[in-house]
């Protein structure tokens, strides 16, 4: 049996409040513009987290497309060719479209630790629609906090390179407004869908139960319990 290591990762943003999320089994990694919890068994991240600001959205940096191994991954890294011939996209968890601030932010988003196998119809369809909704919230509120990941469970199918293929993905948005904080949470099957994105809204509590992850562990317990139990609407 694998030894359970209860690790807690800290967000690094010089201008933003730091939040903590549990990183059981995995390796916590801090890049300059986002953080992640890498799992060498599934060869991808349990979760990624980043602060999305207007300056990041309004930056002039174009896509670098420099898919490459993450040099900080200590065990069983993923290489840019590991998805070749699989029929799956190298799906961004932290979207490249959120990282237009400068060359470094954009380039960091192409580390393979930030990728997860996604069906093309999913990645280029409903997943993109949710990413665009998140950007609308960032424009409205100036700055928001985003956590994204796959649901990684035993017995998932794998690519030839042994990267697990998730059946579900989630995205959590924390609008940390001091007067009226909110959490929006999406849970979506890794498949093409024509459903409105509002139909994928759920509670953070549900995602935590499925993923085995405790998000926002350093929020006051009363606030954390309240926000994570609510299914927000209003998209």
DSSP 8-state secondary structure symbol assigned to residue 157: -
Q: Are 109 and 48 in contact (CB under 8 A)?
A: no
- Percent above pLDDT 70 for the chain: 93
pLDDT given at position 96? 98
Burial class (CB in 10 A: 0-12, 13-18, 19+), 154: exposed
Region of residue 116 (phi > 0: left; psi between -120 and 50: alpha; otherwise: beta): beta
pLDDT given at position 229? 98
170 three-state secondary structure: strand
How far out from the chain centre does Cα 43 lie? 15
Calpha distance 159→200 (Å, rounded): 26
pLDDT class of 24 with cuts at 50, 70, 90:
confident
How far out from the chain centre does Cα 92 lie? 8
Show the domains of the chain with their CATH numbers: 8-229 (3.40.570.10)
Secondary structure percentages of the chain, helix, strand, coil, to 5: 25, 25, 50
State residue 121 phi and psi, 5-degree precision.
-65, -30
pLDDT digits (tens, 9 = 90+) for 124-176: 999 999 999 999 999 999 999 999 999 999 999 999 999 999 999 999 999 99
pLDDT given at position 17? 58
pTM reported for the whole predicted model: 0.92
- Using CA of residue 114, residue 118, residue 124, residue 126, what is the dihedral sign? negative
pLDDT class of 221 with cuts at 50, 70, 90:
very high
pLDDT given at position 25? 87
Q: Mean pLDDT across the stretch 177-194? A: 96
Per-residue pLDDT for 211 more than 50?
yes
pLDDT digits (tens, 9 = 90+) for 29-86: 999 999 999 999 999 999 999 999 999 999 999 999 999 999 999 999 999 999 999 9
Calpha distance 230→206 (Å, rounded): 10
């Amino acid at each position: 049996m694998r030894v359970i290591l209860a690790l807690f990762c800290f967000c690094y943003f010089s201008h933003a409040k730091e939040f903590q999320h549990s990183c059981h089994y995995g390796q916590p990694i801090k890049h300059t513009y986002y953080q992640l919890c890498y799992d060498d068994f599934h060869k991808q991240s349990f979760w990624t987290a980043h602060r999305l600001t207007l300056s990041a959205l309004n930056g002039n940096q174009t896509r670098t497309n420099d898919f490459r191994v993450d040099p900080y991954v200590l065990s069983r890294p993923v290489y840019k060719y590991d998805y070749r011939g699989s029929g799956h996209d190298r799906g961004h968890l932290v979207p490249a479209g959120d990282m237009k601030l400068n060359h470094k932010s954009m380039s960091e988003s192409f580390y393979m630790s930030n990728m997860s196998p996604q069906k093309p119809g999913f990645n280029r369809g409903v997943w993109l629609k949710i990413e665009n909704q998140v950007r609308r919230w960032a424009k409205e509120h100036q700055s928001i906090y985003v956590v994204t990941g796959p649901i990684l469970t035993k017995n998932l199918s794998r690519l030839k390179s042994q990267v697990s293929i998730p059946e579900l993905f989630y995205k959590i948005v924390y609008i940390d407004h001091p007067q009226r904080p909110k959490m929006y949470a999406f849970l979506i099957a890794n498949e093409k869908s024509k459903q409105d994105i509002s139909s994928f809204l759920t509670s953070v509590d549900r995602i935590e139960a499925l993923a085995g992850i405790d998000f926002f562990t350093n929020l006051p317990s009363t606030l954390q319990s309240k926000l994570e139990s609510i299914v927000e609407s209003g998209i």
